């Protein structure tokens, strides 16, 4: 008997594929009001022993789902979990209608998906930001706040890049603020883990800083506003993390193995 999750995937639309998983857009049921979900399928890896493959897949699906729930409980904006099939390695989460921050900033468009850019002209990032009715400064603040909320819950994302942050499209989102028509959502907790160490939080920020400077030219002021909002939200925890961030900048992501 074919697995129900694989049957579901076979009727869904593939959005993208990485080394670890394929991502699909799907409806869980045929009910008319059923909202969209995103399915992340950690497919079988033929190069691993089947037993090891099954246990790694199970652990990773479970880990990602747990990190999402922990974030939800702590008020971090993340997609909710809609189904988990650990045996097949499928995780279903809420579909988020919007764009990744990477696409909204200069330098981020194109490159990542060359296949689609040939079909139609990529919209200009400046136009897109206008569509979301948000300035670059405010965007930086939102990013800083979400990361701070996540770190206060002792969740380390592990792969903070502008591709792993999305803005909800104003058309599909009812905002509680009068001035803000969108919200920032953190996605892809595949590399996340639980830690309260200053080192891990500082490295998380450093990874984001490097991601900014390597994908978006002249983004220093933006990252400064990210840090500013982060500092404000972290309160007294910031001092230690700020100091450690300076250390990490000097030595890089990995600690020295000498001695």
Residue from 23, 54, 56, 83 that binds other proteins (CB under 8 A)?
Answer: 83
Residue 90, Cβ density class (10 Å: 0-12 exposed, 13-18 middle, ≥19 buried): buried
- Region binding other proteins by CB under 8 A among candidate stretches 69-77, 118-126, 133-141, 194-202: 69-77
Q: Where are the alpha helices (DSSP H) in the chain?
A: 4-10, 50-73, 101-104, 114-117, 125-131, 136-152, 198-215, 220-234, 238-251
Is residue 187 at the binding interface for other proteins, with CB under 8 A as the rule?
no
Helix (H, G, I), strand (E, B) or coil at 60: helix
Rounded to whole angstroms, how far apart are CA atoms 72 and 34?
Answer: 21
Phi, psi dihedral angles at 120 (to 5 degrees): -140, 155
Is residue 92 at the binding interface for other proteins, with CB under 8 A as the rule?
yes
Is residue 56 at the binding interface for other proteins, with CB under 8 A as the rule?
no
What is the Cα gyration radius of the chain? 19
* 200 catalytically annotated: no
User: Of the two residues 116 and 175, which places its CB atom closer to other proteins in the complex?
Assistant: 175
Phi, psi dihedral angles at 113 (to 5 degrees): -125, 85
Query: Which tokens is 97 given?
Result: 């209608």
Is residue 190 at the binding interface for other proteins, with CB under 8 A as the rule?
no
Q: Are 74 and 84 in contact (CB under 8 A)?
A: no
Is residue 36 at the binding interface for other proteins, with CB under 8 A as the rule?
no
Residue from 16, 25, 34, 193 that binds other proteins (CB under 8 A)?
Answer: 34
Catalytic residue among 159, 188, 204, 247: 159
Is residue 80 at the binding interface for other proteins, with CB under 8 A as the rule?
yes
**What is the DSSP-derived secondary structure letter of residue 112?**
G
Rounded to whole angstroms, how far apart are CA atoms 210 and 200?
Answer: 15
Q: Kindly state the number of chain residues that form the binding site for other proteins, as judged by CB under 8 A.
A: 38
Is residue 82 at the binding interface for other proteins, with CB under 8 A as the rule?
yes
Residue from 20, 85, 200, 237 that binds other proteins (CB under 8 A)?
Answer: 85
User: Of the two residues 58 and 169, which places its CB atom closer to other proteins in the complex?
Assistant: 58
Sheet containing strand 98-100, edge to edge, reads 98-100, 165-168, 184-186
Is residue 87 at the binding interface for other proteins, with CB under 8 A as the rule?
yes
- Region binding other proteins by CB under 8 A among candidate stretches 64-72, 181-189, 195-203, 240-248: 64-72
Residue from 58, 169, 210, 228 that binds other proteins (CB under 8 A)?
Answer: 58
Is residue 153 at the binding interface for other proteins, with CB under 8 A as the rule?
yes
Binding mask 9-28 for other proteins (x = CB under 8 A): --x----------------x
Rounded to whole angstroms, how far apart are CA atoms 151 and 202?
Answer: 10
Active site residues: 159
Binding region for other proteins (CB under 8 A): 1, 3-5, 7-8, 11, 28-31, 33-35, 58, 61-62, 65-66, 68-69, 72-75, 80-87, 92, 149, 152-153, 176
């Amino acid at each position: 008997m074919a697995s129900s999750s694989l049957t579901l995937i076979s009727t869904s639309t593939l959005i993208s594929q990485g080394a670890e998983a394929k991502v699909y857009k799907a409806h869980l049921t045929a009910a008319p009001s059923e909202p969209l979900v995103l399915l992340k399928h950690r497919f079988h890896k033929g190069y691993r022993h089947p037993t090891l493959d099954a246990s790694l897949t199970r652990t990773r699906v479970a880990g990602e789902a747990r990190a999402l729930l922990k974030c939800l409980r702590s008020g971090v904006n993340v997609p909710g979990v809609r189904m988990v099939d650990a045996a097949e390695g499928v995780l279903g989460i809420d579909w988020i209608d919007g764009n990744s921050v990477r696409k909204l900033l200069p330098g981020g468009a194109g490159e990542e998906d060359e296949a689609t850019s040939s079909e139609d002209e990529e919209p200009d990032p400046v136009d897109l930001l206008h569509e979301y009715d948000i300035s670059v400064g405010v965007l930086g603040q939102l990013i800083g706040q979400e990361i701070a909320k996540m770190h206060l819950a002792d969740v380390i994302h592990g792969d903070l890049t502008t591709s792993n942050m999305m803005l909800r499209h104003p058309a599909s989102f009812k905002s509680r603020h009068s001035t803000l028509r969108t919200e920032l959502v953190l996605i892809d907790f595949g590399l996340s883990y639980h830690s309260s160490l200053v080192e891990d939080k500082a490295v998380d920020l450093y990874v984001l800083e490097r991601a900014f400077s390597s994908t978006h030219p002249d983004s220093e002021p933006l990252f400064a506003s990210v840090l500013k909002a982060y500092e404000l939200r972290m309160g007294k925890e910031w001092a230690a993390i700020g100091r450690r961030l300076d250390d990490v900048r000097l030595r890089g992501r990995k600690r020295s193995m000498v001695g």
